């Protein structure tokens, strides 16, 4: 008896790879991705961070299957049930899945954390994952990933708007690291404990006035360089922000650069040396956060004062774009809205935010996966903002029987 043919949703290219796999896992729709860097003469196919992400999906789900072509330029993915951390299914030490990231990884740890936190509310059990290995980069990266500090202070609190208590989400930074030479490798260690599982996310109505900025919080971090760099970054950022907001507090965090084994037997070296600054502005309107992230490039050559000023200006630019979400958090909020109960939620965003390639691609991907198209209308005031209306698909959590 012949097997029934599976209807794949077809995509091309490596853009939004992790996001497409995440939405596929949430909706249960199998996907086929082709032409993954097929034109690259030196590195065709899946990159190391994409292969590592596939291993992570395999560890936190039950019944997922994936086939990758010999060249790595084509793959198919059949999603399974999101189980989380269940003893005997990949959980290593006690109740934690230990996920190892290789030193060839060029993406920050938030590349893995963002999709993981989108899947965790729909998991059957708690989602406890520890990221370790010579490829863990906790700082912001030149590839566009925010730092763990921005993720913890500007993205995780937004889950509370969907009835997912942030108090039950814990992100531990066990060891910090910036990107190594050439932007590869780090050697940090991060642990995520996500104990907020829900049946369905609440419908979000974040279409009010963003309000005024009432406080600014931040973290200046150094790994393997002089701790005085923190004070210099903070002073430079305060020079710009102090005349605008009176309530500013920026914490300083100093860590030794992590020791990472080398190719030689028994020898180790310090990796992930650098410094950076993360800033988050809180509005008087509940749930409205603006963030900025700047890190010194792996090649160096930038003084802490320039990093501090650049981060402050980046924060002001993020606030000036308006809306209730920034480019960093918009896709997370919109995916949760699309997965929520079958009601229409509304989100206010700045025109510059929705006009990015990332959000336009997200709208197309969600429509391909069967979610409703977005409704757009201008806000009736002097701002240049847009209201996005999103109808939830009611996917919910099949692993949980109670609300």
Q: What is the CATH number of the domain that holds 24?
A: 3.30.110
Residue 234 shares a structural domain with residue 334: no
Nearest-angstrom CA–CA distance, 186 and 175: 10
Confidence band (pLDDT; 50, 70, 90) for 1?
Answer: very low
Domain that holds residue 364: 327-391
Please report which confidence band the pLDDT of residue 94 belongs to, taking 50, 70 and 90 as the band edges: low
Residues 222, 263, single domain; the answer is yes
The average pLDDT across 341-350 equals 90
pLDDT digit string (tens) for 198-208? 888 899 998 88
Choose the final residue of a domain: 52, 82, 112: 82
DSSP 341-393: -SSEEEEEEEHHHHTSHHHHHHHHHHHHTTPPPPEEEE-SSSS-EEEEEEE--
Give the pLDDT score at 263: 67
Residues 312 and 217 in one domain: yes
**Confidence band of 277 (pLDDT split at 50, 70, 90):** very high
Tell me if 260 is assigned to some domain: yes
* Mean pLDDT rounded to a whole number for the chain: 88
Which CATH number is 274's domain given?
3.30.360.20
Answer yes or no: is pLDDT of 40 > 60: yes
Quick: pLDDT tens for 132-182.
988 899 999 988 899 999 999 999 999 999 999 888 999 999 999 998 888
The pLDDT, as a whole number, for residue 93 is 46
Is the confidence at residue 240, as pLDDT, over 90?
yes
Q: Is residue 96 part of a domain?
A: no
Q: Clarify whether residues 228 and 306 are in a common domain.
A: yes
Q: What is the pLDDT of residue 401?
A: 47
Among 13-17, 48-52, 86-90, whose mean pLDDT is lowest? 86-90
Residue 228 lies in a domain: yes
pLDDT value for 275: 93
* Each residue's pLDDT tens digit, 47-67: 999 999 999 999 999 989 999
Among the candidates 303, 321, 339, a domain finishes at 321
120 phi/psi in degrees, rounded to 5: -60, -40
Kindly indicate the confidence band of residue 402, based on its pLDDT and cuts at 50, 70 and 90: very low
235, pLDDT greater than 90? yes
Strand order from edge to edge, sheet including 65-68:
9-12, 31-34, 75-78, 65-68
295 and 230 co-located in one domain: yes
Band (393; pLDDT cuts 50, 70, 90): confident
What pLDDT sits at residue 341? 85
| pLDDT at residue number 398 | 59
Q: How far are the Cα atoms of 19, 145, 207, 215, 380 from residue 349, in angstroms, in the given order?
A: 20, 21, 8, 21, 13
Q: Where residue 218 falls among pLDDT bands split at 50, 70, 90? A: very high
Same domain assignment for residues 263 and 242: yes
Counting beta carbons within 10 angstroms of the beta carbon of residue 358, is it exposed (0 to 12), middle (13 to 18) or buried (19 or more)? middle
4: confidence class by pLDDT, cuts 50, 70, 90: low
Mean pLDDT lowest for which of 30-39, 89-98, 217-226, 394-403? 394-403
Query: How many structural domains are present in the chain?
Result: 3
| CA–CA distance, 359 with 330 (Å, rounded to integer) | 8
Same domain? 356 vs 293: no
Predicted confidence (pLDDT) at residue 6 exceeds the cutoff of 80? no
């Amino acid at each position: 008896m012949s097997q029934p043919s599976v209807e794949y949703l077809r995509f091309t290219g490596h853009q939004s790879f992790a996001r497409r796999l995440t939405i596929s896992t949430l909706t249960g729709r199998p996907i086929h991705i082709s032409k993954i860097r097929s034109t690259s003469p030196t590195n065709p196919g899946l990159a190391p961070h994409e292969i590592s992400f596939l291993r992570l999906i395999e560890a936190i789900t039950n019944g997922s299957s994936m086939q990758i072509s010999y060249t790595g330029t084509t793959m198919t993915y059949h999603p399974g049930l999101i189980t989380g951390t269940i003893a005997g299914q990949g959980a290593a030490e006690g109740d934690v899945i230990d996920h190892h990231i290789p030193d060839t990884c060029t993406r920050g740890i938030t590349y893995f954390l963002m999709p993981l936190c989108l899947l965790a509310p729909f998991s059957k059990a708690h989602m406890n994952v520890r990221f370790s290995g010579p490829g863990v980069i906790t700082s912001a990266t030149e590839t566009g990933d925010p730092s763990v500090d921005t993720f913890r202070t500007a993205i995780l609190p937004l889950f509370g708007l969907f009835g997912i208590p942030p108090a039950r989400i814990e992100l531990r930074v066990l060891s910090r690291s910036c990107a190594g030479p050439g932007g590869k490798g780090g050697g940090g260690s991060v642990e995520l404990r996500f104990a907020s599982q829900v049946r369905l996310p609440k419908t979000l109505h974040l279409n009010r006035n963003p309000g005024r900025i009432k406080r600014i919080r931040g973290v200046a971090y150094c790994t393997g360089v002089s701790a005085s760099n923190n004070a210099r970054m903070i002073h430079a950022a305060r020079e710009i922000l102090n005349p605008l907001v009176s309530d500013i507090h920026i914490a300083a965090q100093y860590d030794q650069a992590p020791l990472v084994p080398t190719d030689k037997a028994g020898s180790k070296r310090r990796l992930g040396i650098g410094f950076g600054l993360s800033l988050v502005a809180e509005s008087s309107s509940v749930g409205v956060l603006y963030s900025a992230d700047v890190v010194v490039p792996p090649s160096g050559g930038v003084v802490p004062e320039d990093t501090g000023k650049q981060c402050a200006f980046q924060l002001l630019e993020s606030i000036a774009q308006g809306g209730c979400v920034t480019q960093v958090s918009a896709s997370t909020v919109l995916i949760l809205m699309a997965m929520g109960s079958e009601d229409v939620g509304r989100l206010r965003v700045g025109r510059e935010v929705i006009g990015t390639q990332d959000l336009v691609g997200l709208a197309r991907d969600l429509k391909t996966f069967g979610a409703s198209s977005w409704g757009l209308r201008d806000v009736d005031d002097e701002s240049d903002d847009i209201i996005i209306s999103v109808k939830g698909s009611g996917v919910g959590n099949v692993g949980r029987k109670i609300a």
